[in-house]
Amino acid sequence: MLRERDSVWSRTLPDTGRSTASRFLQVRDLTEALAEPLSAEDQTVQSMPDVSPTKWHRAHTTWFFEEFVLGPHVARYEPYNKRFRYLFNSYYETVGARHPRPQRGLVTRPGVYEIAEYRRHVDAAMLDLLESPKADAAADIVELGLHHEQQHDELLLMDIKNVLFCNPLLPGYRGRSESESSVAQPLEWIIHPGGLVNVGHDGGGFAFDNESPQHRQLLAPFALGSRAVTCQEWLAFMADGGYSRPELWMSDGWAAVQDQSWNSPLYWIREDQECSLFTLSGTRRLDPAEPVCHVSWYEADAYARWAGARLPLEAEWEAIADQIPVTGNFLDPDVLHPQPYSGTTTDHRLFGDVWEWTASPYRPYPGFVPAAGAVGEYNGKFMVNQFVLRGGSCVTPSGHTRATYRNFFVPSARWVFAGVRLARDA
């Protein structure tokens, strides 16, 4: 029987001194709370190959605990449905065959109610394990599973935003009152003297394997923007022909501009020289003071070149962020959108609002060794043809990120809640 659950919107999810069982329930309940506003039809649609249906996220995160925790650690565990091993495996070749990713939206059965039953089945078995003497042996993989589900909570919101944007009615996911437009703080520069800095996780507390091992890196003196690039600044880039000037773009980026007719960030709606935004609360006026969001690495790089600056190296970003508390605009059901840089002072806001593209390709740190077995496929095999993002976004669960956290996407990705922070040599 499932235990009483805590509030799913608590701002403290992992590593807060709670029991593992309590944290497990809270993470699992957050996923269900995110799915609750959606109809069965909403949860089945796949709007593009990179998007997964909401019900798939709910099932895949459940499969992770069943495959990597319950199967190895619970004798005579009975899977809810053995065929789900094929349907809800994502990319773990070691586990076996899996349903093709681009066809996830074609799977109408199991439906959302059976997925809920699947989650209840696995939750009950997990709670029995977590309150048994065998819990310690499974602690590390359970912790990975909790952070894995938090990653999928963000993906769920990214994906459903794309799904709803494809609907001609442009429906909102969750209502939100519209605020007045504001004026952004002036851009200033945070100066760093350079030198040898520590990069990567020090081993204290949870981190993904791609954050280690910690190593030393030599940096030249540099400056980092005090805030992310705003919509007002992006409008100036557009007005100056930013999307029609090939000299600003990498070759592959310029090809994407031409092939996909990019002329503004994703989810911007341009009508009669005016811009509005599609958000998770529906269409609203563009606030010029809020961070620009949903731009690809190609766009971020072109903007930085236009602005006479560059994108930061991930080690530069981390050297500044390591001195700043991990606070910011993270997943809040009443917001779900980047907040404007209004007011007269700034705390630099390196965390939350928008993931920030870096100039660093996603590669292993010196001495990186993937874990043995299937979980070794979690990050290591993707360390090619992608760029690193740092900081978290307005749909990243609170407590999930840290200064060393390395997100990564292909340079053409636009449905990510990603923006731009400039850097320059000092």
pLDDT given for residue 183 in this prediction: 84
On whether the CB atoms of residues 337 and 343 are closer than 8 A, the answer is no
Residue numbers of the domain that contains 296:
189-425
Distances (CA, A) of 238 to 188, 273, 277, 418: 22, 11, 15, 18
| Whether 327 and 402 share a structural domain | yes
| Whether 238 and 89 share a structural domain | no
pLDDT given for residue 344 in this prediction: 60
The answer to whether position 183 is within a domain reads: no
Per-residue pLDDT reduced to its tens digit, 155-168: 999 999 999 999 99
CA distance linking residue 238 with residue 345, whole number of Å? 27
The residue to which tokens 């939750």 are assigned: 123
| Whether 224 and 151 share a structural domain | no
Q: Residue 258 pLDDT > 90, yes or no?
A: yes
**What 8-state DSSP symbol labels residue 290?**
S
| Whether 160 and 249 share a structural domain | no
| Whether 243 and 359 share a structural domain | yes
C-alpha dihedral sign at 176, 181, 187, 188: negative
Per-residue pLDDT reduced to its tens digit, 369-417: 998 888 899 998 999 999 999 999 999 999 999 999 999 999 999 999 9
pLDDT given for residue 181 in this prediction: 72
CATH number for 375: 3.90.1580.10
| Whether 246 and 287 share a structural domain | yes
The answer to whether position 3 is within a domain reads: no
User: Structural domain tally of the chain?
Assistant: 2
Q: Residue 42 pLDDT > 60, yes or no?
A: yes
The answer to whether position 184 is within a domain reads: no
**Considering 117, 132, 165, which residue would you say is the last residue of a domain?**
165
Buried b (16+ CB within 10 A) or exposed e, 55-82: bbbbbbbbbbbbbbbbeebbeeeebbee
The answer to whether position 15 is within a domain reads: no
When pLDDT is cut at 50, 70 and 90, the band that residue 96 belongs to is very high
| Whether 252 and 129 share a structural domain | no
When pLDDT is cut at 50, 70 and 90, the band that residue 3 belongs to is very low
Task: Count Cβ atoms within 10 A of the Cβ of residue 351 and give its class: 0-12 exposed, 13-18 middle, 19 or more buried.
Answer: buried
Task: Count Cβ atoms within 10 A of the Cβ of residue 345 and give its class: 0-12 exposed, 13-18 middle, 19 or more buried.
Answer: exposed
When pLDDT is cut at 50, 70 and 90, the band that residue 345 belongs to is low
First and final C-alpha spacing in the chain? 60
| Whether 122 and 55 share a structural domain | yes
Q: Residue 25 pLDDT > 70, yes or no?
A: yes
Per-residue pLDDT reduced to its tens digit, 189-243: 999 999 999 999 999 999 999 999 999 999 999 999 999 999 999 999 999 999 9
Q: Residue 14 pLDDT > 70, yes or no?
A: no
| Whether 335 and 412 share a structural domain | yes
The answer to whether position 177 is within a domain reads: no
**Most distant CA pair in the chain, distance:** 66
pLDDT given for residue 179 in this prediction: 72
| Whether 306 and 376 share a structural domain | yes
E strands in 185-247: 189-192, 195-199, 215-219, 222-225
Higher per-residue confidence, 81 vs 345:
81
Q: What is the pTM of this model?
A: 0.95
On whether the CB atoms of residues 126 and 25 are closer than 8 A, the answer is no
| Whether 154 and 231 share a structural domain | no
Tokens of 385: 């043809």
| Whether 104 and 229 share a structural domain | no
